Amino acid sequence: MRSLITKEIKGFLGSLIGHIVIVVFLLITGLFLWVFPDNILDQGYADLGPLFFMAPWVFLFLVPAVTMRSFSEERRTGTLEILLTKPLTETQIVLAKYIACLVLVIVALTPTLIYWYTLHDLAIPKGNLDNGGILGSYAGLLLLAACFVAIGTFASALTENQIVAFLVAVFLCFFLYMGFDLIASYSTFGGAEGTIRSIGIQEHYLSMSRGVIDLQDALYFVCMMAFFLLLTRAALQSRTWS
């Protein structure tokens, strides 16, 4: 299982798309935080809030770009059947692919810690930051990324076409992130608005992005990850049955 994780990570980092994905993510976040109008310098106070507001929308496209090849490429080249004959269970294969993709997303996210360090130095007085809140927000962003990776891995297991896997993952991530909030906005649901919102990812992410780590929110993300990983395993098993 460890060798499969290493193979996946090396394969992605050794490809052009791997470097493009990481560079694009850092470029977009950097431009919005430091260059475009209403950036941190214009606002005049040290706050990483814009990063945690914008990052989920970037992840909607970044994560599917990372996960789209995980199973789709194996199916297209016919190596999935070979992989399934290895002394690994479907669960181990799914977990290996999932962990590898999550590591790659973390690699892309890690350089943003430079923004935290920069704000620490720019703050007046130096270090005048809500470090606990920022740490909690990073925890929420990491859980969000882990959830999106599980969704993207599932989408990749459904088809051998990487573009289709990418589009399915983007749709699912967007719907689960924003869809329930849009549904709840209709007055038809009345008192059920809060319940409907709580089904979506955004409600729980926004709660954690305020710097408050709530056990219910963390449990929600864990359940979402487990659900889509189980669906991914079921997709692999259905292929072996056919």
Give the residue carrying structure tokens 């059947």.
Answer: 81
What tens digit of pLDDT does each residue of 185-216 get?
A: 776 656 677 788 888 898 889 888 776 778 88
Indicate the pLDDT class of residue 5, thresholds 50, 70 and 90. Answer: confident
- Of 59-63, 96-100, 179-183, which gets the smallest average pLDDT? 179-183
Q: Which helix (H) or strand (E) holds 132?
A: helix 131-156
As given in the structure block, the two tokens for residue 60 are 């909607």
Domain boundaries, the chain: 2-237
User: CA nearest 137: which of 53, 237, 234?
Assistant: 53
Contact partners, residue 74, CB within 8 Å, separation at least 6:
80, 83
* Cβ burial, residue 205 (10 Å; 0-12/13-18/19+): buried
Indicate the pLDDT class of residue 45, thresholds 50, 70 and 90. Answer: low
Distance from C-alpha of 172 to C-alpha of 2, rounded to nearest angstrom? 29
Q: Are 21 and 66 in contact (CB under 8 A)?
A: yes
The alpha-carbon radius of gyration of the chain (Å, integer) is 19
Ramachandran area for residue 202 (φ above 0: left; ψ -120 to 50: alpha; else beta): alpha
- Global pTM? 0.89
User: CA nearest 148: which of 205, 195, 90, 193?
Assistant: 205
Q: Are 63 and 69 in contact (CB under 8 A)?
A: no
Q: Give the pLDDT of residue 177.
A: 92
Q: Are 226 and 146 in contact (CB under 8 A)?
A: no
Ramachandran area for residue 190 (φ above 0: left; ψ -120 to 50: alpha; else beta): left
Q: Are 96 and 86 in contact (CB under 8 A)?
A: no
Give the residue carrying structure tokens 């991914």.
Answer: 232
DSSP string, 33-83: HHTSTT-HHHHTS---HHHHHHHHHHHHHHHHHHHTHHHHHHHHHTHHHHH
What tens digit of pLDDT does each residue of 106-160 get?
A: 988 898 888 888 887 777 777 667 777 788 888 989 999 999 999 999 999 998 8
User: CA nearest 147: which of 168, 126, 164, 169?
Assistant: 169
What tens digit of pLDDT does each residue of 64-74 get?
A: 998 998 888 88
* Residue 95 or residue 135, greater confidence: 95
